[in-house]
Structure 1
Amino acid sequence: MASSIDISTNSQWTKATYAGVVGKSTEILQDYDHLVFPQEFYDPTARKGSSPCIHPLGSKEGETAVYFTTKEIDALKEEVKFTLAGKFQLGHPKMELVRSFFESLKFIGNWKIGLLDGRHLLIQLAAEEDYARLFAKKSVNIAGTNMKIIKWTLGFDPGKEPFVVPLWFKLPGLPLPYFKLNALFNIGRALGTPLRVDAPTYNKARPSLARIQVERDITLPELKRIWIGSDAEGF
């Protein structure tokens, strides 16, 4: 029998994921005297001076160009898709306090933090559950200083407010069978990227109304109605 959860603590909450936990990171150098040179990427079986990872230079509109394939670019983006940013209003606390706070969150996957500037922190997460759980908080308090959790994108500009934010959606009159998490998260996909449901929804304690939080681009048109069910039967 499922037990009740307290969403405010996030202690038992998790989210079904297709990605699962990404493998342990091997990017951090433990020995800072060891430097990584391009030769380290060379295939020892290849002829001398060639590398499958280092591309020949190209040219675009008369200027030097470095080309990557679409597959390579997609792979590079995949590695940073669970990345967030933290925004401090006036400035960040000492980094040892920031790192101590993040260690206290007990992420299930690997994580890294680094400074973008004096007021912005880059938060790289490896697990979708950790990403959803942290983004859903919207803000956290670190050593008495408030940090807003915001979406990081490839075009992230610290000087501008992001368009993608966590939003709560109400689903009034949702039939009871659809209160299962897999059904709710599938419905959430029509609204954005699902992050979590609230405790009354999870516990079916408020059957007249389900609530789900998703990340959504607020520049998109307002969405008030969606079809739920099969092609032949639904509402």
Structure 2
Amino acid sequence: MATPIDVNSDAQWTRATYAGVVGRAYDLLQNPEKLIFPQEFHDNAVGKNNCPYIHPLGFKDGETAVYFSNQDLLTLKDEVKFTLIGKFQFWHPKIELVRKFFESLNFIGAWRIRLLDWIHLLIQLSVEEDYARIFAKQSLVTAEVTMKIQKWTSDFDPSKEPPVVPIWYKLPDLPLPFFKFIALFNIGRALGTPLKVDTPTFNKARLAIARIQVERDVTLPEVKRIWIGSENEGFWKETLAEQKPYYCQHCKMFGHILDRCYRLHPPSRKTSNAQAKETHVDSEQVTRTANAEVPTREGACLKNCH
């Protein structure tokens, strides 16, 4: 099991250059000729040679289309599957401070960060252990600024939040044999993409509850129980999600659900005016009540005199 990230560690790994951080990739090239598409590509495109990675153009609904095979798409996605997004609330700190913070995280594999805009940071990792440990944290504090960790997807839109987040699940009274690490991984797959277990679960120090953290799309139906065992022998096990984040599928943002979306269900002007009027009346009533309960100086004097 991989060791946890020590954010206080001073260990140094391969340094990321400033050009790499801000995405100025051309400064990293040792040979500028690599920018030019080779003649071999052009020969394959016109059919002079047979290359499985160069495909003929096509048409989709009467317009030009570039087609890739399913295997090509899987290969392209596989190269960036351990990518995350760091989101700052207002703006990112100085990029040099962000780079130094990431250097201190003691990653196992290679990594790279690039700015997408003022609040979004692209975090490219190469090892699943690094990806799981960073994503499981959900947020990091760099240069005294909180950065929310989000999952990157191929259709990432900076104005929307992906619905995939880390969620802890409890499995009460899980039988002892299923506390084995590989068994917990298989159980976690029924809930999402397994990320980690907590220390008491790994050490079998708290057998009343097993805890597994998974990467899960919150728009999927809730899983209340799962079958564990073989086809003929096994048991149903209750699953308890520790977090149930609100997510609006209209706004594509966390914080509220579809029924309470102000963009989808804006309050009417009549309702707003009625609420404002009711609030005004209530405040006047409170004021009158308060004034009636506070005695004047003369009233207090007469009461004391009697």
TM-score (norm 2): 0.64
Listed one character per residue, the Cα deviations across residues 100-140 of structure 1 (whole Å, up to 9, x for unaligned) are 11111121112121111110011111111111111000000
Structure 1 207/10 Cα, relative in aligned 2: closer, same or farther at 3 Å? Answer: farther
Task: Confirm or deny: 8 A CA contact 1:132 1:195 kept in the other structure.
Answer: yes
Structure 1 41/123 Cα, relative in aligned 2: closer, same or farther at 3 Å? Answer: farther
Aligned mates of 1:40, 1:137 — CA distance in 2? 47
Listed one character per residue, the Cα deviations across residues 43-89 of structure 1 (whole Å, up to 9, x for unaligned) are 999x9975734433323233222221111111111111111100000
- Written as runs of structure 1 = structure 2, the 5 A alignment for 1:98-109 is 98-109=98-109
Alignment match, 1:31: 30
2:96 matches 1:96: yes
Structure 1 54/232 Cα, relative in aligned 2: closer, same or farther at 3 Å? Answer: closer
Q: Shift of residue 185 of structure 1?
A: 0.9
Task: Confirm or deny: 8 A CA contact 1:83 1:151 kept in the other structure.
Answer: yes
- Written as runs of structure 1 = structure 2, the 5 A alignment for 1:195-234 is 195-234=195-234
Aligned mates of 1:173, 1:6 — CA distance in 2? 27
Structure 1 132/74 Cα, relative in aligned 2: closer, same or farther at 3 Å? Answer: same
Task: Confirm or deny: 8 A CA contact 1:170 1:212 kept in the other structure.
Answer: yes
TM-score (norm 1): 0.82
Aligned mates of 1:37, 1:225 — CA distance in 2? 56
Letter in 2 for 1:140: L
Task: Confirm or deny: 8 A CA contact 2:87 2:121 kept in the other structure.
Answer: yes
Task: Confirm or deny: 8 A CA contact 1:10 1:133 kept in the other structure.
Answer: no
In our comparison, the structure showing a higher alpha carbon Rg is: 2
Deviates more, 1:92-101 or 1:55-64: 55-64
Letter in 2 for 1:219: T
Letter in 2 for 1:36: L
Secondary structure of 1:159's counterpart equals coil
- Written as runs of structure 1 = structure 2, the 5 A alignment for 1:33-112 is 33-39=32-38, 42=41, 52=51, 53-112=53-112
2:195 matches 1:169: no
Aligned mates of 1:71, 1:43 — CA distance in 2? 22
- Written as runs of structure 1 = structure 2, the 5 A alignment for 1:2-13 is none
Letter in 2 for 1:74: L
Aligned mates of 1:100, 1:41 — CA distance in 2? 41
Q: 5+ unaligned residues in a row in structure 2: which ranges?
A: 9-24, 236-306
Alignment match, 1:182: 182
Q: 5+ unaligned residues in a row in structure 1: which ranges?
A: 12-26
Alignment match, 1:15: none
Q: Shift of residue 181 of structure 1?
A: 1.1
Alignment match, 2:132: 132
2:199 matches 1:194: no
Higher RCO (CA-CA < 8 Å; seq separation 6+): 1
What's the Cα RMSD here? 2.9
Task: Confirm or deny: 8 A CA contact 2:6 2:105 kept in the other structure.
Answer: no
Alignment match, 2:303: none
Aligned mates of 2:180, 2:40 — CA distance in 1? 47
Aligned mates of 1:56, 1:223 — CA distance in 2? 45
Higher helix share: 2
Task: Confirm or deny: 8 A CA contact 1:7 1:199 kept in the other structure.
Answer: no
* Alignment length (residue pairs): 217
Q: Shift of residue 94 of structure 1?
A: 1.2
Alignment match, 2:285: none
Aligned mates of 1:199, 1:7 — CA distance in 2? 11
Percent of paired sites with the same residue: 61
